[in-house]
Amino acid sequence: MKNLMLVLLCSFYCAVSWGNDNPMAPQTGSSACDTPIYSTNHYIADHALLMLPAGERHWLDQRHKHYLLGTTSPEDPQLSTTCALPANNHASQHEKHSVEWAWDYSDFKVVNGEKKDRTAVLAQQAYDNAVTAYRADKLDDAAFFLGAMAHYIGDVSYANIHSDTVWTDARSPALSPFEQYVSPDRLVKRQPYSAVKRVSKNSQEIYRTFGSAQDKAAPPAIGKSVNLGANELADVLHTFYVSVVKH
């Protein structure tokens, strides 16, 4: 299954440069609209897509470019204008794509009455926008918003622990040190807010354990975290299919 996924991923992207999420520089010009820059977030978004049965992901495969542009969009406030995509109210500053956990991991931290769950909220908003767009027969827009939702789950899949040292090795899926950890589990129904919560809790625990991606023990832990992110995202995409597309 892993090799099959690798082949499918290569059929999409082996000719496309492989980059890091940090930094994800704003793109200008029409090439940005035709060839989304591939980053760690896109890697997770694509793996999640490939975890779905072919029939469930068919409508997204047909709008794959919109899905990937959606994954780029939260980091690139110009993208919607440049590529004539739906306006989005996503935060453009990377520091806002984060959550904070209480030290006992009981829930997100609350500071002065404000719950530090911003990424979970943004993911849920993007998903809700996708629901609205799909029901209005705007399927390209729905794919775009699901891609944006995928961005936020991708962000917390390696929160605070991705580093240039680790991720610049991932120039292609074949070379990614994390490919070996990507393995589909059973699809279940999951809302984006809950997925961000589950994934970020796991990655925060890793961060507190290892502190840095430079640690020898960290890459397997990060690989497992990236795998959890892809699987939780696949669950959300599955939920969208079951609750919206199939209806």
Q: Which residues bind Zn ion (CB under 5 A)?
A: 97, 155
Cβ at position 207, least distance to Zn ion in Å: 16
- Please identify the residue of the shown chain whose CB is closest to the bound Zn ion: 97
As a whole number of angstroms, the distance between CA 150 and CA 90 comes to: 13
Name the one residue in this structure whose structure tokens are 């990236």. 226
Cβ at position 154, least distance to Zn ion in Å: 8
For Zn ion, which is the closer residue by CB, 5 or 236? 236
For Zn ion, which is the closer residue by CB, 92 or 183? 92
DSSP label at residue 115: E
Task: Centre a 10 Å sphere on the Cβ of residue 219 and count the other Cβ atoms it contains.
Answer: 19
As a whole number of angstroms, the distance between CA 23 and CA 107 comes to: 29
For Zn ion, which is the closer residue by CB, 207 or 241? 207
Q: Which helix (H) or strand (E) holds 110?
A: strand 110-111
For Zn ion, which is the closer residue by CB, 56 or 155? 155
For Zn ion, which is the closer residue by CB, 35 or 92? 92
Cβ at position 156, least distance to Zn ion in Å: 9
Residues, the chain = 247
As a whole number of angstroms, the distance between CA 9 and CA 71 comes to: 16
Cβ at position 41, least distance to Zn ion in Å: 7
- Look at residues 95, 94, 99 and name the one whose alpha carbon lies nearest to residue 39: 94
As a whole number of angstroms, the distance between CA 154 and CA 70 comes to: 12
Cβ at position 130, least distance to Zn ion in Å: 18
